[in-house]
């Protein structure tokens, strides 16, 4: 049954993607199709990366209310943008070449996250709570530093920072997108390969170790993949904190199974379908009256508040 | 045989196990008893290789567990920890099948499926095999986890308080099943109910404050004097209808 539902999700994503590409398509067809296809690829990449990363993170943390954002990815991204504008100025920030900027940000986020995971998990994955709390505190620290720097900026520079830290799918450059898409494909393939191992890890550290799983190594590898996925997605368009929670919760509801070889693709497809469908609605019906990221964050935040009192976290 | 040689385990500033040396024979049901904080769970975890000892050695069937690879250990020792929290959506059959992981590492074969079904049958879980573990009662859930440990087909099964929160019917049911199994595998079980230990165990290991107080055949270790000293309260081993029971003599 779960496999059939996964197939249905695949069909749904194909439908939504076709709708995004073809709805209200006018001449010049080739130009518009290329433009839409590039945006579609960005939406799918970000949605899939966020959904897949969240499912894996929730398994490792043994908590279905958490998203990788809790360890401070968003705050670090805000800090990087603020630091760039602070040091280079608004004009300097605007002239930064997209590809090196994307690579630098993605690398910085990945290194920061894997260092945090590596340092804090050295004493064993039993220290997950310590890792999460350290992430939260580091996030607050980075936000505080970014806030301080923002107060010292000119109003025009502050506006540039504000624009840079809200996820936007309207302008996505081809170079970074290609790298992000390839990275996503590789990370998803690695997660697919790890699927049965993640199923065992979900039983808990002691139980997994008694079954012969090198649990701490598996946890670190999984978290490193999560770091890569979230870093690439954040560096590409900006932070979308609650999209993962939305995608993971819907994946658990849509595919009632514990196997990660089904759950990870399900969350990836739902994350992609949410973004593609939402963007289609915003562009074609609402005439870009608001930013999709803000609505996604609002819906995800609302879901989080609903999940906290009503559902068992595991 | 499990051989403990001067086993010392430290947890932070506390010495959880202090120079424990003893031999536990295979093919028996061994009860590990002692008051709260005696180090019973720590001892099981150290035997299973989940805790690295500060000093000393644990050899299980000749294998030094601290030096062994995870997979080697998992083919030798099945440990059932205290917590039996289940993954959502996991059915009983899928849970039991996890016991085969050390043998197939994600690629189950016909022999693994056979062993899973055998474990399900052994613990009478057939009618529950398709049910989600989360929907089971405490006793049924414990049986499912025991079946998973059984499916691991290891020469040793280490069980950390598997009878906690079970009613007398499930307690008897599980102990009788474990008695049967102990004929073919070594079963070590942490017990708080001394009458259960007196009735079902062949061998006993008594701990207090991380130190070994006694290890040997049940009749030699479960005596009124030793139990009273172990728990610091008057206890008496009596016989009622031919069965040994431990009663509060205060």
Q: Tell me how far apart the alpha carbons of residues B143 and B123 are, in angstroms, rounded to a whole number.
A: 6
Residue with tokens 């165990």: B201
User: A125 or A24: whose pLDDT is higher?
Assistant: A24
Give A301-306's long-range contacts (Cβ < 8 A, gap of 24+): A301/A242, A303/A242, A303/A245, A303/A246, A303/A249, A304/A65, A304/A242, A304/A245
Alpha helices in chain B (DSSP H): 40-47, 70-74, 92-98, 101-104, 110-122, 138-151, 168-181, 194-200, 218-221, 224-231
- What is the average pLDDT across B94-117? 93
Could you give the strand order of the β-sheet that contains B55-60, starting from the edge strand earlier in sequence?
A: B14-24, B2-11, B55-60, B63-64
pLDDT bucket at B66, cuts 50 / 70 / 90: confident
Three-state SS at A284: helix
Question: What was the pLDDT predicted at A288?
Answer: 65
Task: Tell me the two tokens of residue A261.
Answer: 């070889």
Asked if residue B24 lies in contact with residue B1, where contact means CB atoms within 8 angstroms, the answer is: yes
Looking only at Cα atoms, what is the longest distance across chain A?
63
Region A182-203: mean pLDDT is: 94
Structural contact between residues A132 and A61, judged by C-beta atoms closer than 8 angstroms: yes
**Per the structure block, which two tokens stand in for B107?**
């690629």
Residue A70 has pLDDT above 60, yes or no: yes
Query: Is a pLDDT exceeding 60 seen at residue A125?
Result: no
- Chain A contact for B56 (CB, 8 A cutoff): no
Predicted local confidence at residue A312, as pLDDT: 53
Q: Cβ B98–A203 below 8 Å, yes or no? A: yes
Q: Where are the domains of chain B?
A: 2-248
Contact residues, chain A, for B89 at CB < 8 Å: 256-258
pLDDT band at B101 (very low <50, low <70, confident <90, very high): very high
CATH superfamily label, B2-248: P-loop containing nucleotide triphosphate hydrolases (3.40.50.300)
pLDDT band with cut points at 50, 70 and 90 for residue A211? very high
Query: What is d(CA B160, CA B40) in angstroms, rounded to the nearest whole number?
Result: 8
**Whether the predicted pLDDT of B143 surpasses 60:** yes
Q: A with B: how many residue pairs have Cβ under 8 Å apart?
A: 56
Identify which of B85, B101, B105 has the shortest CB distance to residue A314: B85
Measured between beta carbons, the chain A residues lying within 8 angstroms of B85 are 204, 314
pLDDT surpasses 90 at A101 = no
Q: Which of B87, B130, B144 would best serve as a mutation to test chain A binding (most A beta carbons within 10 A)?
A: B87
Question: In which band, very low, low, confident or very high, does the pLDDT at A308 lie, cut at 50, 70 and 90?
Answer: low
* pLDDT for position B145: 93
Name the minimum distance, in Å, from the CA of A170 to any CA of chain B. 39
With CB atoms and an 8 Å threshold, state whether B77 touches A196: no
Specify whether the CB–CB gap between B61 and B156 falls below 8 A: yes
A258 touches chain B (CB under 8 A): yes
Flag whether residue A28 sits within 8 Å of chain B, measured between CB atoms: no
Evaluate whether B197 touches B178 at the Cβ level (below 8 Å). Answer: no
Token pair of A131 as six digits: 């890792």
pLDDT tens-digit series, residues B4-44:
999 999 988 889 999 999 999 988 999 999 999 899 999 99
R_g (Cα) of chain A, nearest Å = 19
In this prediction, residue A221 carries a pLDDT of 92
The predicted pLDDT at position B121 comes to 93
**Phi and psi for A163 in degrees, rounded to 5?**
-70, -35
Q: What is the mean pLDDT of residues A4-12?
A: 92
Helix, strand, or coil (residue A307): helix
Which residues 185-244 of chain A have a CB within 8 Å of chain B?
A: 196-197, 199-200, 202-204, 206-207, 209-214
Tell me the mean pLDDT in the region B223-233.
91
Residues in chain A closer than 8 A to B77 (CB atoms)? 210
B12 CA to chain A: closest CA distance, Å? 13
Whether the CB of B210 is below 8 Å from some CB of chain A: the reply is no
ipTM of this predicted structure: 0.87
pLDDT of residue A92: 85
Shortest distance, CA A247 to any CA of chain B (angstroms):
17
Among B70, B81, B106, beta carbon nearest to A206:
B81
Where is A2: in which H helix or E strand? helix A2-22
pLDDT of residue B139: 84
Hey, are the CB atoms on A314 and B89 less than 8 Å from each other?
Answer: no
What residues contact residue A152 under an 8 Å CB cut-off, 6+ apart?
A: A86
Q: What mean pLDDT value characterizes chain B?
A: 91
Q: What is the pLDDT of residues A280-302, one digit of tens each?
A: 888 887 776 666 777 777 777 77
pLDDT at A272 over 90: yes
Residue B30 touches partner A, C-beta closer than 8 Å: no
Contacts 24+ apart (CB under 8 A), B197-201: B197/B31, B197/B33, B197/B222, B197/B246, B198/B222, B198/B237, B198/B243, B198/B244, B198/B245, B198/B246, B199/B175, B199/B243, B199/B244, B199/B245, B200/B29, B200/B31, B200/B175, B201/B29, B201/B30, B201/B31
With contact defined as beta carbons under 8 Å apart, do B25 and B186 qualify? yes
Spell out the long-range contacts of B220-224 with Cβ–Cβ below 8 A and sequence spacing 24 or more: B222/B194, B222/B197, B222/B198, B222/B246, B224/B249
Say yes or no for a CB contact (<8 Å) between B74 and A206. no
B contacts of A252 (beta carbons < 8 Å): 88
| CA distance linking residue B201 with residue A308, whole number of Å | 45
Q: Which helix (H) or strand (E) holds B157?
A: strand B156-159
Dump pLDDT digits (tens) for A73-84: 788 888 888 988
- Three-state secondary-structure class, residue A122: coil
Is the domain defined by A2-313 classed in CATH 1.10.3470.10?
A: yes
Judged by CB atoms closer than 8 Å, whether chains meet at B48 and A210 is answered as: yes
| Domain locations along chain A | 2-313
Confirm if A188 and A18 have CB atoms less than 8 A apart: no
How far apart (Å, rounded) are the C-alpha atoms in residues B180 and A208? Answer: 26
Contacts of A263 in chain B (CB under 8 A): none
CA distances for B87 relative to A34, B35, B92, angstroms:
44, 31, 11
- Between residues B119 and B88, the one the model is more confident about: B119
Could you give the CA distance from residue B156 to residue B53 in angstroms, rounded to a whole number?
20
For an interface test with A, give the residue of B41, B76, B94, B98 to mutate (most A CBs within 10 A).
B98
A184 is written with which tokens? 């996503």
Percent of chain B with pLDDT over 70: 100
Average pLDDT of span A40-50:
93
Per-residue pLDDT, A173: 67
Q: How many CA atoms lie within 13 A of B226 on its CB side?
A: 20
**Distance of residue B206 Cα from the nearest chain A Cα, in angstroms:** 24
Please indicate whether, in this complex, the C-beta atoms of A209 and B50 are within 8 angstroms of each other: yes
Q: What is the mean pLDDT of chain A?
A: 85
B151-206: pLDDT as tens digits: 999 999 999 998 887 888 888 888 999 998 988 899 999 998 999 999 999 999 99
Residues near A20 by beta carbon (within 8 Å), at least 6 away in sequence: A36, A39, A40, A43, A276, A277, A279, A280
Q: What is the pLDDT of residue A122?
A: 61
The pLDDT value recorded for residue A235 is 86
Comparing A128-137, A252-261, A304-313, B130-139, the range with the smallest average pLDDT is: A304-313
**Residue of B60, B89, B109, B145 to mutate, interface with A, max A Cβ within 10 Å:** B89
Q: Do A210 and B74 touch (CB under 8 A)?
A: yes
Q: Which residues of B touch A199 (CB under 8 A)?
A: 98
- Whether residue B104 lies within 8 A of chain A, CB to CB, comes out as no
A65 vs B: CB within 8 A: no
Whether pLDDT at A10 is above 90: yes
Decide if B168 contacts B137 (C-beta within 8 A): no
């Amino acid at each position: 049954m779960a496999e059939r539902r996964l197939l249905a999700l695949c069909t749904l994503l194909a439908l939504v993607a076709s709708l995004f590409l073809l709805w209200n398509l006018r001449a010049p067809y080739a130009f518009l199709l290329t433009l839409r296809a590039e945006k579609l690829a960005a939406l799918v990449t970000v949605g899939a990366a966020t959904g897949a990363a969240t499912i894996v993170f929730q398994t490792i943390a043994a908590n279905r209310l958490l998203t990788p954002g809790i360890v401070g990815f968003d705050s670090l991204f805000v800090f990087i943008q603020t630091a760039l504008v602070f040091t280079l100025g608004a004009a300097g920030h605007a002239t930064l070449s997209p590809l090196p900027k994307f690579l630098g940000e993605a690398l910085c986020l990945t290194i920061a996250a894997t260092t945090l995971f590596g340092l804090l998990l050295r004493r064993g994955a039993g220290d997950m709570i310590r890792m999460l709390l350290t992430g939260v505190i580091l996030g607050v620290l980075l936000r505080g530093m970014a806030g301080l720097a923002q107060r010292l900026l000119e109003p025009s520079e502050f506006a540039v920072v504000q624009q840079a830290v809200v996820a936007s799918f309207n302008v996505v450059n081809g170079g970074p997108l290609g790298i992000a898409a390839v990275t996503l494909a590789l990370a998803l393939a690695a997660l697919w390969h790890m699927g049965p191992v993640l199923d065992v890890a979900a039983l808990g550290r002691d139980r997994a170790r008694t079954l012969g799983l090198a649990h701490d190594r598996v946890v670190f590898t999984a978290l490193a993949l999560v770091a890569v996925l979230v870093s690439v997605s954040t560096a590409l368009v900006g932070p979308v904190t609650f999209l993962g929670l939305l995608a993971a919760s819907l994946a658990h509801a849509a595919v009632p199974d514990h196997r990660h070889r089904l759950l990870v693709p399900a969350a990836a497809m739902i994350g992609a379908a949410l973004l593609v469908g939402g963007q289609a609605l915003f562009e074609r019906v609402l005439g870009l009256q608001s930013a999709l990221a803000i609505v996604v964050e609002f819906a995800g935040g609302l879901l989080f508040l609903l999940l906290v009192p009503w559902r068992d976290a595991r | 045989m499990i051989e403990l040689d001067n086993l010392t385990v430290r947890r932070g500033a506390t010495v959880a196990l202090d120079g424990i040396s003893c031999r536990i024979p295979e093919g028996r049901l061994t009860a590990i008893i002692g008051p709260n904080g005696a180090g019973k769970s720590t001892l099981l975890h150290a035997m299973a290789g989940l805790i690295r000892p500060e000093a000393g050695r644990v050899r299980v069937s000749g294998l030094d567990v601290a030096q062994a690879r995870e997979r080697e250990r998992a083919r030798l020792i099945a440990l059932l920890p205290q917590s039996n929290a289940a993954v959502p959506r996991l059915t009983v059959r899928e849970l039991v099948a996890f016991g085969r992981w050390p043998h197939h590492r994600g690629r189950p074969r016909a022999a693994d499926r056979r062993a899973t079904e055998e474990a399900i049958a052994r613990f009478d879980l057939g009618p529950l095999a398709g049910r989600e573990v989360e929907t089971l009662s405490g006793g049924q859930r414990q049986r499912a986890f025991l079946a998973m440990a059984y499916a691991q087909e290891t020469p040793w099964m280490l069980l950390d308080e598997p009878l906690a929160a079970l009613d007398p019917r499930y307690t008897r049911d599980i102990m009788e099943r474990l008695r049967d199994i102990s004929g073919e595998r070594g079963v070590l079980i942490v017990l708080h109910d001394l009458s259960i230990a007196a009735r079902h165990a062949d061998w006993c290991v008594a701990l207090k404050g991380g130190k070994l107080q006694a290890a040997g055949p049940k009749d030699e270790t479960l005596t009124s004097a030793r139990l009273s000293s172990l728990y610091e309260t008057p206890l008496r081993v009596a016989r009622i209808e031919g069965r040994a029971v431990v009663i509060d003599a205060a």
